[in-house]
Amino acid sequence: MYFALFILLLLALFCMIFSCVRRKKIIRRIKCMDKCQKCSELSQLAAPFGYDYHCRDGFFSSTLDAWQKDAGYTWLYDYMAPRFQMVFDALPIYFDYRGKTWLIELWKGQYGINTGAEIGIYHADRLLSEDEYKTAFFTAVEDYEMLPCTLRLCDETENECIQISERHWWLTIFLPGLFTEPSNLCLEVSICFPTTQMCDAFYDGLYNTGYDMKDISIHGHCLSFLFRTGKNISFNLSTRFWRCLSQFLNRIFCKLYIWITRPFLCTEDRILFLYYSLPFAFRRLLRLRRFNRHCHKKNGCHPPKCYHTCHTREEDES
């Protein structure tokens, strides 16, 4: 019995030494990489999941050829989301245009250990009645139907904002390792339409959700407004339970992510450390939305806004 106990202790000691050596090796590997290498590798790692990494501001965003485009959209996605640790406020805007019912929907909230926001542009293959909205399947718009959009996500408690602008079918911002309650987020949205008729149709759809005219700004074919909280939305008991449980778990996992990646301060360093140390956790990080692409490679690399913070805590202590 003593011999078996000795073997177990020896194995435990060996595992601790191996883990410590491996950890230090990973830290050295990341420290030896320059900014361009880190950004390029993160973009390549994220591409199969349908995302690109924006190194300057430290967030992930969806690519134009993301595989999620084939999944389209149905109301069931939003209903099931809290059961998969996605807790957000949603604002679906339905409107009819050129023989089809369109859906432009906004989301803001917590996606696992990521704080994020989305705008998705879809349409059905025909005109729908209001009773069909929750049962219909909407397909993502084609490339020629994509719209120029701007998302500016602000944390009203911290008074911090981040912005992205692009012509897209599904424009997103996902900030890893940040926990936020959806009610504390404000989303500033601007969408430009190809025709006055489409802009007016969207305006009518937005007005039907409960927005007042004073909350909407129109400049030419571009329409802007703020999305703070879901309007006219109430959750049943089951959904409220899953939202509370998921937020509780999200908060814990965010703290765990920060603790595991504590040798580093920069987002790209933390994510690479997570990938090299716990690949399964990295994959979990990028399972952001709904249910082999060529690797995307950046044409250029940009320094971060606070480059001097890109170091390890070990350097601080020394």
Q: How confident is the model over 144-163, as pLDDT tens digits?
A: 999 999 999 999 887 889 99
Token pair for residue 292?
Answer: 């082999």
Chain mean pLDDT for the chain: 86
Amino acid identity for residue 7 in this structure? I
Q: pLDDT-based confidence at 8, cuts 50/70/90?
A: confident
Q: Is the pLDDT of residue 306 over 80?
A: no
In 3D space, the residue among 303, 239, 310, 305 whose CA is nearest the CA of residue 271 turns out to be: 310
What is the pLDDT averaged over residues 267-283?
92
pTM: 0.85
Q: Is the pLDDT of residue 95 over 60?
A: yes
| 113-117, 149-153, 305-309: segment of lowest average pLDDT | 305-309
Q: Which residues pair with 120 in a beta bridge?
A: 105, 170
User: How many CB atoms neighbour CB 69 within 10 A?
Assistant: 19
Residues above pLDDT 90, as percent of the chain? 69
The model's pLDDT over 207-257, given as tens digits with 9 standing for 90+, comes to 999 888 888 999 999 999 999 875 556 788 999 999 999 999 999 999 999
Q: For residue 250, what is the enclosing H or E element?
A: helix 237-260
Residue 312: per-residue pLDDT? 46
Residue 79: per-residue pLDDT? 93
Give me the count of residues in the chain.
Answer: 318
Q: What does residue 66 show for φ and ψ, rounded to 5 degrees?
A: -60, 140
